[in-house]
Amino acid sequence: MNIKYEKKLNELRRKGRLRELVPFQQAGLPGSGPSVRYKGRSLLNLSSNDYLGLGQDEAFRQQFLTDLDVTDSTKSGFAAASSRLLTGDSPLAHHLEDEIARVYNSESALIFNSGYHANIGILPALFGRGDLILSDKLNHASIHDGLQLSRADCKRFRHGDYEQLWGMLRKYRKQYQQVVIVSESVFSMDGDEADLDRLLELKYEFDASLYLDEAHALGVYGRQGLGKAEKKGLLQDVDFLVGTFGKALASVGAFVCCSGEIRDYLVNHSRSLMYTTALPPVILHWNLYVFQHMLTMNRERRHLQQISTQLRREFAEKEFANLGTTHIIPVLVGDDRRVLEQSGRMQEHGFLVLPVRPPTVPEGTARFRFSICANMQWEDIQQLPSCMAGIAVGANGEK
């Protein structure tokens, strides 16, 4: 082994940060909630992004397969075998984009292969020399990578510190042709929310654009599940709204809602779109099927909010430092090795909650990220706070 890599791997192992690929299997037990099988045991999966439970809805999947005409390759084909700019495009891709644009009341929409592809493709394509990108410090890694690929000047403001953002805009706005503010709506590791009203105030005050990543809000918030911008009635105020099929919509792929002019520009300049094999027809068909179904899942959205709120309350009563206001409930542990050890002990109690450690989160803030899904019942998760308390006392004699 190369001594350089061996040394770095050993250092990760010593710190409790060595990551490994673990092949979990879906439990497939009716009524078991979102469970997986691991080492012969069924564990409640609290580390998934399957927020609406569609990924484990066997009846829903079977209905899709029943309706699928396997003789029609325009809907059931398993390969695109080319980028969209060569021969990988299809009428179904345009149908999906038109449906997304219609539902969002947007002028246009464009599909990407994943949320990562979207964020590393859109930002560098649209913003370059002479432009400024202002990004929340806790935005997703894909956004940070998009900033690095861009030739624009990039500055990060403290998480949710809109006074600092105001100061940056006041200081720098006149120096740049374009300024864009970039934020998630629901932050994936802290489970808290951006103040969209304040972001839009700043956008209009300083003639900036707003780029909003709704990855963890899509499906969960709003009358049709379109996210936080829909819930607040602000869809038309967001210049670039990014959503993903890879979380609540139980698939793969992403999209951006934007103007027709921006869509055309991205088709010609976004490298992650231009040089990537297109999504296959069967995935596009599934995405359309799931997207349309998601629009009506208000009962599931209400249930998810109810059990998430109750769980946050129970954690607070046990005096755990938990963050956020959403269906993502982080509980801080702090030490990397400690959270790794406690993760194993949680599995002994039937809960799969994987540790989140730096560099995914800041130093000293290793945590559990409890990801609550609509196909869970309160009975499935009500013992979590007591279980966490018992493990913490057993490890240290105190919480």
Cα–Cα distances (Å) from 181 to 151, 170, 205, 277, in that order, read: 16, 13, 12, 30
Q: Please tell me the predicted confidence (pLDDT) of residue 392.
A: 63
Identify whether 281 is preceded by a cis peptide bond (ω within 30 of 0): no
Q: Please tell me the predicted confidence (pLDDT) of residue 1.
A: 62
Scanning the chain, the segments in alpha helix (DSSP H) are 3-15, 58-67, 73-76, 91-104, 115-126, 141-149, 162-172, 196-205, 228-231, 260-269, 271-274, 281-294, 298-317, 336-348, 378-381, 384-396
Which of 257, 270, 307 is CA-nearest to residue 109?
A: 257
Strand 254-258 and strand 108-112: pairing? antiparallel
C-alpha span between 72 and 48 (Å, rounded) = 33
Task: Provide the residue-wise pLDDT of the chain in tens; the chain has 399 residues.
Answer: 688 999 999 999 998 899 988 888 775 545 455 888 888 889 999 999 999 999 989 999 999 999 998 888 888 889 999 999 999 999 999 999 999 999 999 999 999 999 999 999 999 999 999 999 999 999 999 999 999 999 999 999 999 999 999 999 999 999 999 999 999 999 999 999 999 999 999 999 999 999 999 999 999 999 999 999 999 999 999 999 999 999 999 999 999 999 999 999 999 999 999 999 999 999 999 999 999 999 999 999 999 999 999 999 999 988 887 678 999 999 998 889 999 999 999 999 999 999 999 999 999 999 999 999 999 999 999 999 999 888 764 444 343
Please spell the DSSP secondary structure of 166-204, one letter per residue: HHHHHHHGGG-SEEEEEEESB-TTT--B--HHHHHHHHH
What DSSP character marks residue 236? G
C-alpha span between 286 and 284 (Å, rounded) = 5
- Helix, strand, coil abundance in the chain, percent, nearest 5: 45, 20, 40
Q: Are 262 and 240 in contact (CB under 8 A)?
A: yes
CA atoms within 13 A on the CB side of 29: 13
List of residues 6+ apart from 179 with CB closer than 8 A: 131, 132, 133, 134, 169, 172, 173, 206, 207, 208, 209
List of residues 6+ apart from 143 with CB closer than 8 A: 119, 123, 135, 182, 184, 213
- Phi, psi (deg, nearest 5) at residue 8: -70, -40
Cα–Cα distances (Å) from 182 to 91, 202, 331, 398, in that order, read: 32, 12, 26, 40
Query: What's the pTM value of the predicted model, to 2 decimals?
Result: 0.93
Cα–Cα distances (Å) from 130 to 20, 103, 113, 266, 283, in that order, read: 42, 34, 29, 19, 39
What DSSP character marks residue 314? H
Q: Please tell me the predicted confidence (pLDDT) of residue 398.
A: 42
Q: Is 163 helix (H, G, I), strand (E, B) or coil?
A: helix
Which of 190, 254, 172 is CA-nearest to residue 181?
A: 172
In the block, which residue shows the tokens 């009358």?
223
Q: Are 287 and 109 in contact (CB under 8 A)?
A: no
List of residues 6+ apart from 71 with CB closer than 8 A: none
Cα–Cα distances (Å) from 218 to 16, 94, 203, 252, 382, in that order, read: 33, 21, 22, 14, 26
Q: Please tell me the predicted confidence (pLDDT) of residue 320.
A: 85
Which of 88, 89, 112 is CA-nearest to residue 100?
A: 112
Radius of gyration of the chain (CA): 22
Query: Length of the chain in residues, anyone?
Result: 399
Delineate the domains of the chain, giving CATH numbers in brackets.
13-45+298-396 (3.90.1150.10), 69-294 (3.40.640.10)
C-alpha span between 28 and 333 (Å, rounded) = 31
